[in-house]
Chains A and B, each alone.
Chain A
Amino acid sequence: MSQSYNRGLVEDFGRWREFSAGMWAWIFHKFTGWVLVGYLFTHIAVLSTALSGEILYTETIRALESLLIVRILEVGLLAVAVFHILNGLRLLLVDLGIGLEAQDKSFYASLVLTGAIVVASVPTFVAGVF
Protein backbone atom coordinates (compact mmCIF):
# COMPACT_ATOMS: atom_id res chain seq x y z
CA MET A 1 0.00 0.00 0.00
CA SER A 2 1.43 3.31 -1.00
CA GLN A 3 0.05 5.92 1.33
CA SER A 4 -3.25 6.71 2.95
CA TYR A 5 -5.13 9.67 4.24
CA ASN A 6 -5.84 10.37 7.89
CA ARG A 7 -9.22 12.01 8.30
CA GLY A 8 -8.32 13.31 11.76
CA LEU A 9 -10.93 14.99 13.92
CA VAL A 10 -13.74 14.11 11.53
CA GLU A 11 -13.46 10.57 12.85
CA ASP A 12 -13.66 11.57 16.49
CA PHE A 13 -15.65 14.34 18.10
CA GLY A 14 -16.31 16.12 14.83
CA ARG A 15 -19.15 13.60 14.48
CA TRP A 16 -20.83 14.47 17.76
CA ARG A 17 -24.17 15.21 16.09
CA GLU A 18 -24.36 11.61 14.97
CA PHE A 19 -23.59 10.01 18.35
CA SER A 20 -26.17 7.62 19.74
CA ALA A 21 -27.44 7.29 23.30
CA GLY A 22 -24.83 4.78 24.44
CA MET A 23 -22.04 7.00 23.14
CA TRP A 24 -23.36 10.06 24.96
CA ALA A 25 -23.72 8.02 28.14
CA TRP A 26 -20.07 7.02 27.83
CA ILE A 27 -18.87 10.60 27.23
CA PHE A 28 -20.93 12.01 30.12
CA HIS A 29 -19.77 9.24 32.42
CA LYS A 30 -16.11 9.97 31.62
CA PHE A 31 -16.64 13.71 32.00
CA THR A 32 -18.52 13.51 35.31
CA GLY A 33 -15.95 11.03 36.59
CA TRP A 34 -13.10 13.46 35.96
CA VAL A 35 -15.05 16.36 37.49
CA LEU A 36 -15.61 14.30 40.63
CA VAL A 37 -11.90 13.43 40.84
CA GLY A 38 -11.09 17.14 40.50
CA TYR A 39 -13.60 18.03 43.19
CA LEU A 40 -12.03 15.51 45.54
CA PHE A 41 -8.81 17.58 45.60
CA THR A 42 -10.56 20.88 46.35
CA HIS A 43 -12.62 19.06 48.97
CA ILE A 44 -9.46 17.82 50.69
CA ALA A 45 -7.89 21.28 50.42
CA VAL A 46 -10.87 22.97 52.13
CA LEU A 47 -11.14 20.32 54.82
CA SER A 48 -7.41 20.53 55.63
CA THR A 49 -7.86 24.13 56.81
CA ALA A 50 -9.20 22.45 59.98
CA LEU A 51 -5.61 21.35 60.68
CA SER A 52 -4.78 24.98 61.49
CA GLY A 53 -7.62 25.36 63.95
CA GLU A 54 -11.36 25.50 64.24
CA ILE A 55 -11.69 29.21 63.61
CA LEU A 56 -9.85 29.18 60.32
CA TYR A 57 -11.98 26.27 59.11
CA THR A 58 -15.23 28.00 60.04
CA GLU A 59 -14.06 31.23 58.46
CA THR A 60 -13.09 29.48 55.22
CA ILE A 61 -16.42 27.70 54.93
CA ARG A 62 -18.32 30.88 55.75
CA ALA A 63 -16.38 32.87 53.16
CA LEU A 64 -16.90 30.25 50.47
CA GLU A 65 -20.60 29.81 51.15
CA SER A 66 -21.23 33.54 50.90
CA LEU A 67 -20.13 33.55 47.27
CA LEU A 68 -22.83 33.08 44.65
CA ILE A 69 -20.42 31.31 42.30
CA VAL A 70 -19.70 28.64 44.94
CA ARG A 71 -23.43 28.03 45.41
CA ILE A 72 -23.87 27.62 41.66
CA LEU A 73 -20.88 25.30 41.48
CA GLU A 74 -22.43 23.24 44.26
CA VAL A 75 -25.57 22.76 42.17
CA GLY A 76 -23.33 21.71 39.30
CA LEU A 77 -21.49 19.30 41.54
CA LEU A 78 -24.76 17.73 42.62
CA ALA A 79 -25.82 17.35 38.97
CA VAL A 80 -22.53 15.69 38.10
CA ALA A 81 -22.62 13.36 41.10
CA VAL A 82 -26.26 12.35 40.60
CA PHE A 83 -25.73 11.59 36.94
CA HIS A 84 -22.59 9.61 37.71
CA ILE A 85 -24.45 7.56 40.32
CA LEU A 86 -27.50 6.89 38.13
CA ASN A 87 -25.46 6.04 35.04
CA GLY A 88 -23.24 3.89 37.26
CA LEU A 89 -26.33 1.90 38.24
CA ARG A 90 -27.21 1.65 34.56
CA LEU A 91 -23.72 0.32 33.79
CA LEU A 92 -24.05 -2.15 36.65
CA LEU A 93 -27.20 -3.52 35.02
CA VAL A 94 -25.41 -3.62 31.67
CA ASP A 95 -22.55 -5.57 33.26
CA LEU A 96 -25.02 -8.02 34.75
CA GLY A 97 -26.62 -8.42 31.33
CA ILE A 98 -29.99 -7.05 32.45
CA GLY A 99 -32.08 -4.98 30.05
CA LEU A 100 -29.45 -4.45 27.35
CA GLU A 101 -32.18 -3.71 24.82
CA ALA A 102 -33.38 -0.81 26.96
CA GLN A 103 -29.92 0.71 27.51
CA ASP A 104 -30.84 3.90 25.63
CA LYS A 105 -34.05 4.32 27.62
CA SER A 106 -32.24 3.87 30.91
CA PHE A 107 -29.77 6.56 29.81
CA TYR A 108 -32.59 8.99 29.06
CA ALA A 109 -34.22 8.06 32.37
CA SER A 110 -31.03 8.83 34.28
CA LEU A 111 -30.78 12.19 32.48
CA VAL A 112 -34.37 13.12 33.31
CA LEU A 113 -33.99 12.02 36.94
CA THR A 114 -30.78 14.02 37.25
CA GLY A 115 -32.54 17.09 35.89
CA ALA A 116 -35.46 16.69 38.28
CA ILE A 117 -33.27 16.20 41.35
CA VAL A 118 -31.05 19.16 40.44
CA VAL A 119 -34.00 21.50 39.87
CA ALA A 120 -35.54 20.41 43.18
CA SER A 121 -32.25 21.09 45.00
CA VAL A 122 -31.73 24.64 43.71
CA PRO A 123 -33.76 26.41 46.51
CA THR A 124 -31.77 24.57 49.19
CA PHE A 125 -28.40 25.42 47.69
CA VAL A 126 -29.09 29.03 46.86
CA ALA A 127 -30.96 29.86 50.11
CA GLY A 128 -29.57 32.86 51.99
CA VAL A 129 -27.00 33.98 49.44
CA PHE A 130 -29.04 36.80 47.94
Chain B
Amino acid sequence: MSTQEQKPKNQTETDTESADEDIIAASSPQQRRLREKRGREIESPKETAEQEDTYHLKVFRYDPEVADKQEPRFDDFHVPYRQGMTVLDALIYARDRFDSSLTFRHSCRQAICGSDAFFINGRQRLGCRTQLSDLEEPVRVEPLPHQEVVKDLVVDMEHFYDQMEAVEPYFQTNELPEGELEEQRQSRENHEKIKMSTRCIWCAACYSSCNIAAGDNEYLGPAAINKAYRFAMDEREGEDLKQHRMRIIEQEHGVWRCQTQFSCTMVCPKDIPLTEHIQELKREAVKNNLKFW
Protein backbone atom coordinates (compact mmCIF):
# COMPACT_ATOMS: atom_id res chain seq x y z
CA MET B 1 0.00 0.00 0.00
CA SER B 2 2.68 2.36 0.98
CA THR B 3 4.53 1.87 -2.32
CA GLN B 4 1.35 2.52 -4.27
CA GLU B 5 0.84 5.71 -2.43
CA GLN B 6 4.36 6.82 -3.03
CA LYS B 7 4.43 6.14 -6.72
CA PRO B 8 2.12 8.87 -7.94
CA LYS B 9 3.69 11.21 -5.46
CA ASN B 10 7.12 10.59 -6.94
CA GLN B 11 5.82 11.08 -10.40
CA THR B 12 4.32 14.43 -9.65
CA GLU B 13 7.55 15.46 -8.04
CA THR B 14 9.63 14.59 -11.06
CA ASP B 15 7.08 16.31 -13.26
CA THR B 16 7.35 19.53 -11.37
CA GLU B 17 11.13 19.20 -11.31
CA SER B 18 11.39 18.82 -15.04
CA ALA B 19 9.02 21.73 -15.47
CA ASP B 20 11.32 23.74 -13.20
CA GLU B 21 14.29 22.69 -15.25
CA ASP B 22 12.55 23.86 -18.39
CA ILE B 23 11.94 27.24 -16.84
CA ILE B 24 15.53 27.43 -15.66
CA ALA B 25 16.81 26.27 -19.00
CA ALA B 26 14.76 28.85 -20.85
CA SER B 27 16.16 31.67 -18.74
CA SER B 28 19.72 30.38 -18.40
CA PRO B 29 22.56 32.48 -19.77
CA GLN B 30 23.32 29.77 -22.31
CA GLN B 31 19.78 29.83 -23.67
CA ARG B 32 19.84 33.59 -23.79
CA ARG B 33 23.10 33.56 -25.74
CA LEU B 34 21.75 30.95 -28.14
CA ARG B 35 18.65 33.03 -28.75
CA GLU B 36 20.78 36.10 -29.35
CA LYS B 37 22.95 34.14 -31.73
CA ARG B 38 19.94 32.95 -33.69
CA GLY B 39 18.76 36.53 -33.91
CA ARG B 40 22.15 37.67 -35.18
CA GLU B 41 22.28 35.00 -37.85
CA ILE B 42 19.06 36.26 -39.32
CA GLU B 43 20.25 39.84 -39.23
CA SER B 44 23.76 39.30 -40.53
CA PRO B 45 23.09 38.73 -44.25
CA LYS B 46 21.26 42.05 -44.37
CA GLU B 47 24.15 43.75 -42.57
CA THR B 48 26.75 42.38 -44.93
CA ALA B 49 24.62 43.43 -47.87
CA GLU B 50 24.66 46.95 -46.50
CA GLN B 51 28.38 46.82 -45.75
CA GLU B 52 29.40 45.53 -49.14
CA ASP B 53 32.27 47.99 -48.98
CA THR B 54 35.94 47.27 -48.62
CA TYR B 55 38.38 48.40 -46.00
CA HIS B 56 41.27 50.57 -47.06
CA LEU B 57 44.60 49.46 -45.61
CA LYS B 58 47.86 51.36 -45.95
CA VAL B 59 50.66 48.96 -45.23
CA PHE B 60 54.32 49.85 -44.68
CA ARG B 61 56.53 48.08 -47.23
CA TYR B 62 60.29 47.78 -47.22
CA ASP B 63 62.59 45.13 -48.59
CA PRO B 64 66.35 45.68 -48.37
CA GLU B 65 67.10 42.79 -50.70
CA VAL B 66 65.24 44.07 -53.75
CA ALA B 67 66.74 47.14 -55.36
CA ASP B 68 63.41 48.82 -56.17
CA LYS B 69 61.97 48.26 -52.70
CA GLN B 70 64.76 49.65 -50.57
CA GLU B 71 62.98 52.97 -50.26
CA PRO B 72 60.17 52.46 -47.72
CA ARG B 73 56.69 53.12 -49.04
CA PHE B 74 53.05 52.54 -48.19
CA ASP B 75 51.02 50.12 -50.28
CA ASP B 76 47.25 50.43 -50.49
CA PHE B 77 45.07 47.37 -50.16
CA HIS B 78 41.30 47.36 -50.46
CA VAL B 79 40.16 44.28 -48.59
CA PRO B 80 36.51 43.16 -48.75
CA TYR B 81 35.06 43.39 -45.29
CA ARG B 82 33.21 40.63 -43.54
CA GLN B 83 31.79 40.85 -40.07
CA GLY B 84 34.30 40.24 -37.29
CA MET B 85 37.32 40.82 -39.50
CA THR B 86 40.52 41.71 -37.68
CA VAL B 87 43.51 43.61 -38.99
CA LEU B 88 45.43 40.34 -39.18
CA ASP B 89 42.62 38.74 -41.21
CA ALA B 90 42.79 41.66 -43.61
CA LEU B 91 46.58 41.36 -43.92
CA ILE B 92 46.30 37.62 -44.56
CA TYR B 93 43.68 38.32 -47.22
CA ALA B 94 45.89 40.93 -48.84
CA ARG B 95 48.87 38.59 -48.84
CA ASP B 96 46.92 35.62 -50.21
CA ARG B 97 45.00 37.50 -52.91
CA PHE B 98 46.93 40.64 -53.80
CA ASP B 99 50.63 40.48 -53.03
CA SER B 100 52.30 37.30 -51.86
CA SER B 101 55.48 39.17 -50.96
CA LEU B 102 53.76 41.02 -48.09
CA THR B 103 55.64 39.82 -45.02
CA PHE B 104 54.48 39.76 -41.40
CA ARG B 105 54.65 37.44 -38.42
CA HIS B 106 51.60 35.65 -37.17
CA SER B 107 50.81 32.31 -35.68
CA CYS B 108 47.94 31.53 -33.32
CA ARG B 109 45.54 34.33 -34.33
CA GLN B 110 44.05 34.40 -30.82
CA ALA B 111 46.29 36.85 -28.96
CA ILE B 112 48.42 34.30 -27.16
CA CYS B 113 51.54 33.76 -29.30
CA GLY B 114 52.44 37.46 -29.28
CA SER B 115 53.95 37.51 -32.77
CA ASP B 116 51.67 39.96 -34.57
CA ALA B 117 52.15 43.23 -32.70
CA PHE B 118 51.99 46.07 -35.24
CA PHE B 119 51.73 49.83 -35.12
CA ILE B 120 48.13 50.24 -36.23
CA ASN B 121 46.66 53.74 -36.59
CA GLY B 122 49.30 55.26 -34.36
CA ARG B 123 49.25 52.72 -31.57
CA GLN B 124 50.88 49.39 -30.79
CA ARG B 125 48.21 46.72 -31.07
CA LEU B 126 47.96 43.02 -31.77
CA GLY B 127 46.70 42.53 -35.32
CA CYS B 128 44.58 39.54 -34.30
CA ARG B 129 42.92 41.41 -31.45
CA THR B 130 42.04 44.57 -33.34
CA GLN B 131 38.69 44.68 -35.09
CA LEU B 132 38.69 46.59 -38.36
CA SER B 133 35.31 48.04 -37.41
CA ASP B 134 36.93 49.80 -34.42
CA LEU B 135 39.37 51.67 -36.63
CA GLU B 136 39.14 54.73 -38.79
CA GLU B 137 39.96 54.40 -42.47
CA PRO B 138 42.52 54.29 -43.94
CA VAL B 139 43.99 51.78 -41.53
CA ARG B 140 47.71 52.41 -41.34
CA VAL B 141 49.69 49.29 -40.51
CA GLU B 142 53.36 49.79 -39.72
CA PRO B 143 56.07 47.73 -38.05
CA LEU B 144 56.67 48.40 -34.35
CA PRO B 145 58.45 51.73 -33.79
CA HIS B 146 61.88 51.92 -32.15
CA GLN B 147 62.82 48.54 -33.53
CA GLU B 148 64.78 47.86 -36.65
CA VAL B 149 62.74 46.80 -39.63
CA VAL B 150 63.91 43.60 -41.28
CA LYS B 151 61.26 43.49 -43.99
CA ASP B 152 57.77 44.96 -44.37
CA LEU B 153 56.11 44.50 -40.96
CA VAL B 154 58.82 42.27 -39.50
CA VAL B 155 61.06 43.90 -36.93
CA ASP B 156 64.23 42.64 -35.30
CA MET B 157 63.24 41.34 -31.86
CA GLU B 158 66.73 40.23 -30.84
CA HIS B 159 67.40 43.10 -28.43
CA PHE B 160 63.99 42.71 -26.82
CA TYR B 161 64.63 39.02 -26.22
CA ASP B 162 68.07 39.82 -24.80
CA GLN B 163 66.47 42.17 -22.27
CA MET B 164 63.87 39.56 -21.39
CA GLU B 165 66.57 36.94 -20.83
CA ALA B 166 68.60 39.39 -18.73
CA VAL B 167 66.10 39.19 -15.86
CA GLU B 168 66.31 35.38 -15.78
CA PRO B 169 62.68 34.74 -16.66
CA TYR B 170 62.40 31.30 -15.11
CA PHE B 171 61.59 29.88 -11.70
CA GLN B 172 64.58 29.17 -9.50
CA THR B 173 64.88 28.50 -5.82
CA ASN B 174 67.21 27.00 -3.25
CA GLU B 175 64.45 26.43 -0.73
CA LEU B 176 63.12 23.04 -1.73
CA PRO B 177 60.31 21.48 0.26
CA GLU B 178 61.12 18.42 2.36
CA GLY B 179 60.37 15.06 0.85
CA GLU B 180 61.30 14.02 -2.64
CA LEU B 181 57.85 14.24 -4.21
CA GLU B 182 56.62 17.26 -2.29
CA GLU B 183 55.05 20.06 -4.34
CA GLN B 184 56.03 23.70 -4.17
CA ARG B 185 52.71 25.25 -3.29
CA GLN B 186 51.87 28.89 -3.71
CA SER B 187 49.35 30.63 -1.50
CA ARG B 188 46.20 31.94 -3.18
CA GLU B 189 46.99 35.49 -2.06
CA ASN B 190 50.46 35.31 -3.56
CA HIS B 191 49.09 33.99 -6.81
CA GLU B 192 46.55 36.81 -6.97
CA LYS B 193 49.43 39.25 -6.54
CA ILE B 194 51.43 37.98 -9.51
CA LYS B 195 48.48 36.84 -11.61
CA MET B 196 48.39 39.79 -14.00
CA SER B 197 52.15 39.74 -14.52
CA THR B 198 52.06 36.11 -15.68
CA ARG B 199 49.91 37.06 -18.66
CA CYS B 200 52.77 38.55 -20.69
CA ILE B 201 53.01 37.08 -24.20
CA TRP B 202 56.35 38.69 -25.19
CA CYS B 203 54.79 40.71 -28.03
CA ALA B 204 57.04 43.76 -27.38
CA ALA B 205 54.18 46.25 -27.79
CA CYS B 206 55.08 47.90 -24.46
CA TYR B 207 58.78 47.91 -25.22
CA SER B 208 58.10 49.60 -28.54
CA SER B 209 55.86 52.24 -26.94
CA CYS B 210 58.44 53.20 -24.30
CA ASN B 211 60.39 56.37 -25.09
CA ILE B 212 62.98 55.66 -22.45
CA ALA B 213 63.68 52.19 -23.80
CA ALA B 214 64.07 53.77 -27.22
CA GLY B 215 66.67 56.24 -26.00
CA ASP B 216 68.52 53.96 -23.60
CA ASN B 217 69.52 50.63 -25.07
CA GLU B 218 70.53 49.27 -21.69
CA TYR B 219 67.15 49.93 -20.05
CA LEU B 220 65.43 46.65 -19.33
CA GLY B 221 62.07 47.91 -20.56
CA PRO B 222 58.57 47.33 -19.22
CA ALA B 223 58.17 43.72 -20.36
CA ALA B 224 61.41 42.54 -18.78
CA ILE B 225 60.73 44.38 -15.53
CA ASN B 226 57.25 42.86 -15.44
CA LYS B 227 58.86 39.45 -15.90
CA ALA B 228 61.23 40.22 -13.05
CA TYR B 229 58.25 41.28 -10.94
CA ARG B 230 56.53 38.00 -11.65
CA PHE B 231 59.41 36.05 -10.08
CA ALA B 232 60.61 38.53 -7.46
CA MET B 233 57.11 38.63 -5.96
CA ASP B 234 56.74 34.86 -6.06
CA GLU B 235 57.18 33.79 -2.44
CA ARG B 236 58.17 30.25 -3.38
CA GLU B 237 61.54 31.42 -4.67
CA GLY B 238 62.68 32.37 -1.19
CA GLU B 239 64.68 35.26 0.28
CA ASP B 240 68.06 34.49 -1.36
CA LEU B 241 66.67 34.50 -4.86
CA LYS B 242 64.62 37.62 -4.13
CA GLN B 243 67.83 39.45 -3.20
CA HIS B 244 69.45 38.12 -6.36
CA ARG B 245 66.55 39.40 -8.46
CA MET B 246 66.48 42.77 -6.69
CA ARG B 247 70.17 43.26 -7.60
CA ILE B 248 69.23 43.00 -11.27
CA ILE B 249 66.11 45.15 -10.93
CA GLU B 250 67.56 48.02 -8.90
CA GLN B 251 70.48 48.74 -11.21
CA GLU B 252 70.80 52.13 -12.84
CA HIS B 253 69.24 50.83 -16.06
CA GLY B 254 66.65 48.78 -14.24
CA VAL B 255 63.51 50.17 -12.65
CA TRP B 256 64.95 53.64 -12.10
CA ARG B 257 64.89 54.50 -15.80
CA CYS B 258 61.09 54.36 -15.80
CA GLN B 259 59.61 57.88 -15.87
CA THR B 260 55.96 56.84 -15.61
CA GLN B 261 54.73 57.86 -19.03
CA PHE B 262 52.15 55.08 -18.81
CA SER B 263 52.62 54.33 -22.53
CA CYS B 264 53.30 50.65 -21.84
CA THR B 265 50.21 50.26 -19.67
CA MET B 266 48.11 51.94 -22.36
CA VAL B 267 49.16 49.61 -25.17
CA CYS B 268 49.48 46.25 -23.37
CA PRO B 269 47.12 43.87 -25.19
CA LYS B 270 46.85 41.69 -22.10
CA ASP B 271 45.97 44.62 -19.80
CA ILE B 272 48.93 44.09 -17.50
CA PRO B 273 49.31 47.10 -15.14
CA LEU B 274 52.97 47.49 -16.12
CA THR B 275 53.59 50.91 -14.59
CA GLU B 276 52.05 49.74 -11.33
CA HIS B 277 54.41 46.76 -11.22
CA ILE B 278 57.45 48.91 -12.01
CA GLN B 279 56.48 51.41 -9.31
CA GLU B 280 56.04 48.61 -6.79
CA LEU B 281 59.51 47.29 -7.59
CA LYS B 282 60.92 50.81 -7.15
CA ARG B 283 59.40 50.98 -3.67
CA GLU B 284 60.70 47.48 -2.99
CA ALA B 285 64.19 48.57 -4.04
CA VAL B 286 64.03 51.61 -1.75
CA LYS B 287 62.87 49.48 1.18
CA ASN B 288 65.70 47.08 0.42
CA ASN B 289 68.41 49.73 0.58
CA LEU B 290 67.14 52.44 2.89
CA LYS B 291 68.82 52.31 6.29
CA PHE B 292 68.47 54.95 8.97
CA TRP B 293 71.48 53.89 11.00
Note all chain A residues with C-beta closer than 8 A to B65. 2
Q: How far is the CA of A4 from the CA of B282 in the complex (A)?
A: 35
Q: How far is the CA of A1 from the CA of B154 in the complex (A)?
A: 12
Note all chain A residues with C-beta closer than 8 A to B263. 20, 22-23
Assess whether B122 is interfacial by the CB under 8 Å rule. Answer: yes
Beta-carbon contacts under 8 Å, B235-284 to A: 259-263, 265-266, 273, 275-276, 279-280, 282-283
Note all chain B residues with C-beta closer than 8 A to A96. 283
Contact for A94 among B123, B156, B260, CB less than 8 A: B260
Contacts known (A20-B266, A22-B260, A97-B279); A11 close to B122, Cβ less than 8 A: no
Specify the chain B residue showing the minimal Cβ separation from A100: B276
Known: A11-B214, A17-B122. 13 other contacts (CB 8 A): A5-B64, A5-B148, A6-B148, A7-B145, A7-B149, A11-B145, A22-B265, A94-B260, A95-B260, A95-B283, A96-B283, A100-B265, A104-B262
Tell whether, in the assembled complex, residue A4 and residue B64 are in contact, meaning their CB atoms are under 8 Å apart.
Answer: yes
Tell whether, in the assembled complex, residue A100 and residue B259 are in contact, meaning their CB atoms are under 8 Å apart.
Answer: no
Beta-carbon contacts under 8 Å, A91-125 to B: 91, 94-97, 100, 103-104
Specify the chain A residue showing the minimal Cβ separation from B260: A94
Q: How far is the CA of A1 from the CA of B146 in the complex (A)?
A: 17
Q: How far is the CA of A91 from the CA of B260 in the complex (A)?
A: 8
Q: Interface residues, chain A, CB within 8 Å of chain B?
A: 1-7, 10-12, 15, 17-18, 20-23, 25-26, 91, 94-97, 100, 103-104
Contact for A97 among B123, B211, B262, B283, CB less than 8 A: B283
CB distance from A117 to the nearest CB of B (A): 24
Q: How far is the CA of A97 from the CA of B214 in the complex (A)?
A: 25
Note all chain B residues with C-beta closer than 8 A to A20. 262-263, 266
Tell whether, in the assembled complex, residue B122 and residue A100 are in contact, meaning their CB atoms are under 8 Å apart.
Answer: no
Tell whether, in the assembled complex, residue B260 and residue A11 are in contact, meaning their CB atoms are under 8 Å apart.
Answer: no
Beta-carbon contacts under 8 Å, B135-162 to A: 145-146, 148-150, 156
Note all chain A residues with C-beta closer than 8 A to B231. none
Note all chain A residues with C-beta closer than 8 A to B211. 12, 23, 26
Tell whether, in the assembled complex, residue A100 and residue B282 are in contact, meaning their CB atoms are under 8 Å apart.
Answer: no
Note all chain B residues with C-beta closer than 8 A to A4. 64, 148-150, 156
Note all chain A residues with C-beta closer than 8 A to B260. 22, 26, 91, 94-95, 103
Assess whether B207 is interfacial by the CB under 8 Å rule. Answer: no
Assess whether B72 is interfacial by the CB under 8 Å rule. Answer: yes
Note all chain A residues with C-beta closer than 8 A to B122. 15, 17-18
Assess whether B118 is interfacial by the CB under 8 Å rule. Answer: no
Assess whether B62 is interfacial by the CB under 8 Å rule. Answer: yes
Q: How far is the CA of A56 from the CA of B123 in the complex (A)?
A: 57
Note all chain A residues with C-beta closer than 8 A to B123. 18
Note all chain B residues with C-beta closer than 8 A to A5. 62, 64, 72, 148-149
Q: How far is the CA of A41 from the CA of B132 in the complex (A)?
A: 53
